Chain A
Amino acid sequence: EAGVAQSPRYKIIEKRQSVAFWCNPISGHATLYWYQQILGQGPKLLIQFQNNGVVDDSQLPKDRFSAERLKGVDSTLKIQPAKLEDSAVYLCASSLRGTMNTEAFFGQGTRLTVV
Chain B
Amino acid sequence: AQKITQTQPGMFVQEKEAVTLDCTYDTSDQSYGLFWYKQPSSGEMIFLIYQGSYDEQNATEGRYSLNFQKARKSANLVISASQLGDSAMYFCAMREGYNNAGNMLTFGGGTRLMVKP
Contact = CB atoms under 8 A, between A and B. Distances in A.
Interface of A: 31, 33, 35, 41-45, 48-50, 53, 55-56, 89, 91, 93, 95, 97-109, 111
Given A42-B109, A50-B101, A100 B45 contact: no
B45 A55 contact: no
Interface in B36-62: 37, 43-45, 47, 50, 52-53
Nearest to B53: A100
A100 B101 contact: no
A23 to B, nearest CB: 14
B interface, how many residues as a size bin?
20 to 34
A20 to B, nearest CB: 20
A111 to B, nearest CB: 8
9 contacts: A48-B102, A48-B105, A55-B99, A56-B102, A56-B104, A98-B101, A99-B100, A106-B44, A111-B43
A93 B101 contact: no
A101 B52 contact: yes
A41 B102 CA distance: 24
A55 B101 CA distance: 7
